[in-house]
Amino acid sequence: MSHLDHTPSTPGKFKIDKSPYYSRTRWHSSVAKLTLWSFLFVAIIFLFFYRSPSSSSNNPPSSDPSRRYLASATWGGAAWEKRVRTSARIRSRNGFSVLVTGAAGFVGTHVSSALKRRGDGVLGIDNFNDYYDPTLKRARQALLERSGVLIVEGDINDVALLKKLFDMVPFTHVMHLAAQAGVRYAMQNPGSYVHSNIAGFVSLLEVCKDANPQPAIVWASSSSVYGLNTKVPFSEKDRTDQPASLYAATKKAGEEIAHTYNHIYGLSLTGLRFFTVYGPWGRPDMAYFFFTKDILKGKSIPIFEAANHGTVARDFTYIDDIVKGCLGSLDTAQKSTGSGGKKKGPAQLRVFNLGNTSPVPVTDLVSILERLLKVKAKRNVMKLPRNGDVPYTHANISYAQKEFGYKPTTDLQTGLKKFVRWYLSYYGDKKAAVR
């Protein structure tokens, strides 16, 4: 494949013909609850940073396996700095210079590509971990490099690296997509979620607050924060204090941390609650992806059902629609108001749902894949396990529609057809064809 599917076609910057409408999100948590969260976050962050190696290159590598690769990462030098500046150079009038974390990830690759195509300066950073096959991440990296986007190999907990990048490039915006993803994996490796989603987020915010100028930050939260909430569709105003998984809890923690850095340091922060993103170059741990793989191999696939034989459904959202939401959030993000770690005035704080607003039963997803692959799936129906999964998701997107005209346009049938075409091309499976 020479481009992102079937690369998403994303329009230029959103232009809205109305007076300034930016308003800070009102958080409905009580002061006591916020205080409790704050103490919890401080304790967790202190624990991880206290155990972290110093950013000084004179210290020996940490014995912690999750951090060991940081000391071996190579960056620096005149040639490397030239590549960084070239990648981040703005090539359009009124363009942005954007640092994209998690740029070799699914959403990160598509967003980076869309930003570059419209003339923004884009620099990526990614640690290329092995949560899923790094080969796919390297293929995405090669795709972006062909379009002029450099991905720096490093971790967002490496404060020295982040400071170096900000010293070289006056980023106007940060698109923070780096995270430890996956609901079920949290039961196997909980530490990785705190390391990436909490400590990593704080590391990034610490560097951003000290930058001059401070960038506006758009970051990936998750629809998982709605947890055990039974009111649908999910609205940004709904309660989010009942997480059903550690992953959800770390994303909720991120939202509270964002509130804190906005309040104290004047950082402009916009959180995006993604709803089950799918499409070409996707994540192999997602159901639509491994269903496709196992159906083609003749393996059985697990079909979960809720209590009392209830339906499990998801608000599947195609990647192109998510990219439009990400760019719309960037384009309407106000400037941060601090400088050198000091707040000079109130700053923008927002949270948006980015979904498709059309929940589809997982059984229907499988039926569509069967038609596209021309292979009958071997369905293994079982009860929804208590591993953090929830039976139903449904996004209310009225706030995003109002603020920057967000409007998803791709239905599941159309989106899966594009995904299957990409899958068969990428993996070279000639035994099935897309109608």
Interval 15-50: pLDDT, tens? 434 444 334 444 444 444 544 454 455 445 444 444
DSSP state of 384: P
| pLDDT at res. 187 | 85
Q: Is residue 326 part of a domain?
A: yes
Q: Is residue 13 part of a domain?
A: no
Residue 434: HSE in the Cβ half-sphere, 13 Å Cα cutoff? 17
Cα–Cα distance between 157 and 160 in angstroms, integer?
A: 9
Name the active-site residue from 132, 185, 226, 247: 247
Q: Mean pLDDT across the stretch 393-414?
A: 97
pLDDT band, very low/low/confident/very high, at 350 (cuts 50, 70, 90): very high
In which domain, by residue range, is 264 found? Answer: 179-277+321-357+391-409
Burial 95-111 (b: 16+ CB within 10 A, else e): bbbbbbbbbbbbbbbbb
What angle in degrees, to the nearest 10, is found between the helix axes of 200-210 and 246-265?
10
Q: Is residue 232 part of a domain?
A: yes
pTM value is 0.84
| pLDDT at res. 308 | 63
Cα–Cα distance between 294 and 276 in angstroms, integer?
A: 20
pLDDT band, very low/low/confident/very high, at 97 (cuts 50, 70, 90): very high
pLDDT of 265 higher than 80:
yes
Please give the structure tokens belonging to residue 145. 């490099």
Q: Is residue 48 part of a domain?
A: no
Please check whether residue 357 is in contact with residue 315, taking contact to mean a CB–CB distance below 8 angstroms: yes
Q: Is residue 351 part of a domain?
A: yes
Parallel, antiparallel, or unpaired for β 300-305 and 378-383? Answer: parallel
Q: Is residue 345 part of a domain?
A: yes
Weakest mean pLDDT among 73-77, 232-236, 319-323: 73-77
Weakest mean pLDDT among 141-145, 337-341, 351-355: 337-341
Q: Assign 85 to helix, strand or coil.
A: helix
CB count within 10 Å of CB 357 equals 17
Please give the structure tokens belonging to residue 323. 């990219």
Looking up residue 221, the CATH number of its domain turns out to be 3.40.50.720
| pLDDT at res. 376 | 96
Task: Report which of residues 390 and 26 the model is more confident about.
Answer: 390
Cα–Cα distance between 308 and 348 in angstroms, integer?
A: 44
| pLDDT at res. 384 | 73
Q: Is residue 247 annotated as part of the catalytic site, yes or no?
A: yes
pLDDT of 6 higher than 90:
no
Count of structural domains, the chain = 1
Q: Mean pLDDT across the stretch 309-324?
A: 92
Q: Is residue 404 part of a domain?
A: yes
Q: Is residue 400 part of a domain?
A: yes
Q: Mean pLDDT across the stretch 165-180?
A: 97
Mean pLDDT, all residues of the chain: 85
The string of pLDDT tens digits covering residues 206-253 is 999 999 999 999 999 999 999 988 889 999 999 999 999 999 999 999
| pLDDT at res. 370 | 97
